[in-house]
Amino acid sequence: MGSVKDDRGYNQGFRPSLTLEIRTERRCEYLIQQMDKQEIASILEIGCGTGEMSFLLARKTKMNVLGTDLCLPFIEDAKSKYQLPNLKFRILDFNCPDLGDQKFDYIVGNGILHHLYNNLDMALQNIKALLKENGKIIFLEPNLLNPYCFLIFNSLPIFRKMANLEPNEMAFTKKFIKSLLNRLGYTEIKVEYRDFLLPNTPSFLVNSIIKLGSLFEKTPILKYSSQSIFISAKK
């Protein structure tokens, strides 16, 4: 399965496939489960890529969704593919975000915080400043304890190069992100080991992996090797 590269040549995801479609849909449902069921609300997605998650959120929740990414070709692709009255896309570098006075009920991301690893303290402070009172963050991030993630992020440099990772991106652990969010004053922090479905899983194995994953998530020791950690917290 091929990868999708940004305009700098780094891998930012996988090319469309049935497995990726199922995985994205499942992750969207997780995000929505962490939200209050209200249509008059706003969602900011950072690192939206070509817009699939922002589109699903806008369609399913009817909330106002702004998808942002620093890659111009991605944003142009998203605008051409997805049009809804409650959906917008724009260029945004989250290392120096400029959204004026806009505030959001929810700020979400699917595999984006680890791209901001070297400036994660500042990024999470920026995110907190963009939340409305009692606003909430919901993120899905690669779990460093997962064998595949450990191999490409924290092993020999050749594996990082093979995966076309950005120089500064780094997966992290539940303990790391929970401690950081607590230090920055977030409340109601919840970090879970979730999801064993990799985007490059052959389609005929998807249902079996989902069933096994659901079991592993409830099993001590095994759950620590999940592909992702799911993060939520309030301002």
The yes-or-no verdict on residue 161 having pLDDT over 50 is: yes
pTM of structure: 0.93
For residue 1, the model assigns a pLDDT of 47
What is the helix, strand, coil percentage profile of the chain, to 5?
A: 40, 25, 35
- For residue 150, the domain's CATH number is 3.40.50.150
Most confident region among 10-14, 64-68, 164-168 by mean pLDDT: 64-68
The yes-or-no verdict on residue 2 having pLDDT over 70 is: no
Mean pLDDT for the chain overall: 90
- Domain of 159, in residue numbers: 3-234
Number of domains in the chain: 1
Instruction: Collect all residues with Cβ–Cβ distance below 8 Å to 154 and sequence separation of at least 6.
Output: 144, 170, 171
The yes-or-no verdict on residue 40 having pLDDT over 60 is: yes
